[in-house]
Structure 1
Amino acid sequence: MQDDEATAEATRIEDGRRLFAGPVEFLLSVAELHQLPAADLPEVAFAGRSNVGKSSLINALTGRKALARASVTPGRTQQLNLFAVGQPPCLRLVDMPGYGFAEAPKAVAAAWRKLVNTYLAGRTNLKRVMVLIDARHGLKPNDIEMFDQLERAAVNYQIVLTKADKLPDGGSAMRTRSPPRRRAGPLPTRSS
């Protein structure tokens, strides 16, 4: 039985690798919900504070260096950016604006928050949100607010620790509190 489970797991991993190694393309940027495509494909969104590595993780998952535009400037992603995965597309990835500090006018940042909050609360095909946490800084109050919002909206989420390789010990001792109950543990990631 264990051999069957191991084989099934290896098959799922290989299927995922092939999916993300295949065609992936930028679909569109959305500033308002009515611009979203039909809710006909499952979506996985990437949320987190500004500059936590959302765009970089999408690039790493897809094996592309510049699919999602990453920047050192907080608040670079200002809309929901959607990417179609597969040919024909079978999944969409959604790169969301970061929460917290952003080098943008307050009214613009407020519009992002409204867009993100409405998307998270009402998108029926949103299957999971990957909530990225910078391992160097741990959980912040706005991360907890995001968890609470996702819980209220009954949206599945996964915590992903980023920049663990930048910790003095290389990430072996994560500086975060325990993740919220009822969720899988964090997934540490490395930038290299």
Structure 2
Amino acid sequence: MSEAELPDRLTPEEIEAGRLLFAAPCAFFFGAQHVDQLPPPDRPEIAFAGRSNVGKSSLINALTGRTRLARSSSEPGRTKQLNFFDLGGRVTLVDMPGYGFAKAAKAVKEDWQQTMFAYLRGRPTLARVLLLLDARIELKASDREVMELLDRAAVVFQVVLTKCDAVKPGALAAKNREVSAEIGKHPAAYPVIVETSNETGLGVDILRASIARVIAEAPSGESS
């Protein structure tokens, strides 16, 4: 892939920086079900958000080159806590509970929103949220609600399309247009969409480099 083809003008040097960042040891170190249980904010954090079964855990595994670092549940919506992973002592990856699970009671969904908003709004080290959307599925009301939540929390988020290997080029282009139109309505949205596939590795190097850039630009842990 040439420099001119790199999304968001990422350079080959930044691609290599992303590879090196994610070549570091990575391990789970904390789980929190409530905001009063969070670990100390001592390094920049990148959070992964998305609907239940969108592939958050699989993408974290792909980024870190591991197969069982982050574990997905066979029952969508089962994971109810924020899972924290230390990446080389430089950045914390945060696997957020999935949203949009149909079987959950209204009270559970409201509690999720309250907990996630408290985390998003009050975490000084949160550098960016990666909002994962399944490329095969149309945008849902819950996706738009989370974008609005991120707007209110004033946290920069970037959309990552997952499972792109299962979508034909024309349909994927249409999906990009649909999502681009939606994020254009949200002041907290970063305007570059990353296409990924955990099966083929599509976009994994791009996402690594994007995260490395965010961390480099926010050494103090301030949002970027």
TM-score, normalisation: structure 2: 0.74
Unaligned segments of structure 2, at least 5 residues: 200-224
1:187 matched to which residue of 2? Answer: 194
2:24 matched to which residue of 1? Answer: 22
**How much does 1:145 deviate?**
1.3
Within 1, Cα distance between the matches of 2:113 and 2:150? Answer: 14
Contact conserved, 2:46 with 2:129, CA < 8 A, in 1? yes
Contact conserved, 1:32 with 1:115, CA < 8 A, in 2? yes
Higher helix share: 2
Contact conserved, 1:24 with 1:84, CA < 8 A, in 2? yes
**How much does 1:146 deviate?**
1.2
The sequence identity of aligned pairs, in percent, is: 50
Higher relative contact order (CA 8 A, sep 6+): 2
DSSP 3-state at the match of 1:146: helix
For 1:65-104, what aligned pairs fall within 5 Å after superposition?
65-86=67-88, 89-101=89-101
Within 2, Cα distance between the matches of 1:129 and 1:164? Answer: 20
Which residue identity is paired with 1:151?
Answer: D
Moved more, 9-18 or 38-47: 9-18
Unaligned segments of structure 1, at least 5 residues: none
Whether 1:47 aligns to 2:16 is: no
Whether 1:31 aligns to 2:38 is: no
Contact conserved, 1:179 with 1:186, CA < 8 A, in 2? no
Which residue identity is paired with 2:197?
Answer: R
DSSP 3-state at the match of 2:158: strand
**How much does 1:171 deviate?**
6.0
DSSP 3-state at the match of 2:191: coil
* Count of matched residue positions in the alignment of Structure 1 and Structure 2: 185
**How much does 1:185 deviate?**
2.7
DSSP 3-state at the match of 1:76: coil
Contact conserved, 2:135 with 2:172, CA < 8 A, in 1? no
Moved more, 125-134 or 150-159: 150-159
TM-score, normalisation: structure 1: 0.86
For 1:136-151, what aligned pairs fall within 5 Å after superposition?
136-151=136-151
